[in-house]
Amino acid sequence: MQEYFYTLADTITGLLQGHEVYTCTFRGEESDFVRFNHSAVRQAGTVTQRFLNLDLIQGQRHTAADLALSGDLDDDRTRLAEVLPTLRAQLSYLPDDPHLLYATAVHSSVHAGENHLPPSADAVAALIEAGRGRDLVGFYAAGGIYAGFANAFGQRNWFASHSFNCNWSLYHQADKAVKTAYAGFAWDAAAFQHKVDTAATELAQLQRPPRTIPPGRYRVYLAPAALEEILHTLCWGGFGLKDHRTKQTSLLKMVEDGARLHPAVTLRENTRDGVAPNFQSAGFVKPDQVTMIDAGAWHDCLVSPRSAKEYGIPTNGAAAGESPQSLDMVAGDIPPEAVFQQLDTGVYVNNLWYLNYSDRSACRMTGMTRFATFWVEHGVIQAPLNVMRFDESIYRMLGEHLLGLTSARELMLSTSTYHQRSTSSSRLPGALVEDFHFTL
């Protein structure tokens, strides 16, 4: 796909007139998708798709078109020749864009991405075996994801990543199930089997009579998937320069009042180790890492080109939404095998959902437990818990009441497949927290 995209970019360059400039982005994938229900394959298919977004620029005016590409070079070059006059005609009716900023210095790059994926049939066979004698529901998605950038100045960037995302639940009954995910770049049979065995053990625990505990404050362990939901909510306007300058950020107390999180908390946008491309749609190349929170203290914003132009500071390659696409939290020192021992008596939370802010300016969130959540006494699971709602601030959860983070982290890829497979990812530890507030 790389040479195909470069040829299209050269075609656009040859069609420009006068002082016209363009930027264009390419996105594509070649993915296998398999869906499971009742431990059997219910749907399987392969998707190959390509899209190109073309932004035609003249001075401070610009207009864009999004094209679904056929993969036939002659056909796609003809379509580009047809769409350019339409964009050119629109420019005369548009006002100047005061915040338009695009890269003019050429920084070309190629990240080819090695392919170590297993044959999809092997992964599917492993999932079917994992569901033998159980009710497994879920999906497997794997393949290449591609991104490209080109502009009129000769810059060319290419990014390819080959990953798999395996997400499944072992269902017991009613609202009781164990949800598990395994994602990465190379299949490790032992790591997969460990996840299967852990899920099977928790599934057996779900067969006990469920328990309801009264509202109150409890010691809890937040598994990486539960912590991801909390941090995903924090990403809604928490780290972007625009939100900070307009005082809409949920981390306002950190920025203005000097509030801090626990010294163990360091959060980064880690593009180097993620699955998202290392460049963005205006042609700016992203640094390998941007540290947003360093040892509990606020450090830096994610800055898109438009915010950079508006506020007069350099961009660090953030996308328009200024939200992390490759979120990374530094590990702690709690060994995974010691989690139950250190939790002692409290609540083991595998998953959370339906999160939202209950007080945005205080960075307080509310949400509900989901799937396998357990009551633990003296380091031993006693019973599954019925659904509970929590209400907590980030300054308590990851600040004064954080007891520690696990030394092992989990790579979690977004399960979103709207339009195409998402390239968002998180690499997170689990978190042990005291005085966690359940409201009902």
Say whether both 188 and 233 belong to one domain.
no
**CA distance linking residue 394 with residue 383, whole number of Å:** 28
| Domain CATH code at residue 151 | 3.30.2290.10
pLDDT score of 247: 95
Is 101 part of any domain? yes
Phi, psi (degrees; rounded to nearest 5) at 89: -70, -30
Do both 309 and 269 map to the same domain? yes
On whether residue 210 sits in a domain, the answer given is no
Query: Looking at the structure, do residues 23 and 78 belong to the same domain, yes or no?
Result: yes
191 with 232, same domain?
Answer: no
Last residue of a domain, one of 204, 229, 260: 204
Strand-pair partners of 290: 269
Residue 15 lies in a domain: yes
Q: What is the overall mean pLDDT for the chain?
A: 96
Same domain as 423, residue 377:
yes
The pLDDT, as a whole number, for residue 176 is 86
Q: Is residue 99 part of a domain?
A: yes
297 and 250 share a domain?
yes
Q: Which residue ranges of the chain lie beneath pLDDT 50?
A: none
One domain, residues 181 and 240 = no
Residue 211 in domain:
no
Single pTM value for the model: 0.94
Same-domain status, 260 and 316 = yes
Asked which of 181, 204, 227 is the last residue of a domain, the reply is 204
d(CA 43, CA 39): 12
Q: Is residue 60 part of a domain?
A: yes
Q: For residue 408, give its domain range.
A: 216-438
Q: Which of 161, 181, 204 is the last residue of a domain?
A: 204
Residue 433 lies in a domain: yes
Same structural domain, 274 and 391: yes
Cβ 422 vs Cβ 399: under 8 Å = no
Q: Are residues 135 and 63 in the same domain?
A: yes
104 and 181: one domain? yes
Residue 174 has a pLDDT of: 79
Q: Are residues 276 and 252 in the same domain?
A: yes
| The total number of structural domains that make up the chain | 2
The string of pLDDT tens digits covering residues 264-280 is 999 999 999 999 999 99
pLDDT for the residue numbered 86:
96
209 is a domain residue = no
Q: What is the pLDDT of residue 173?
A: 85
For 226-261, the pLDDT digits (tens) are: 999 999 999 999 999 999 999 999 999 999 999 999
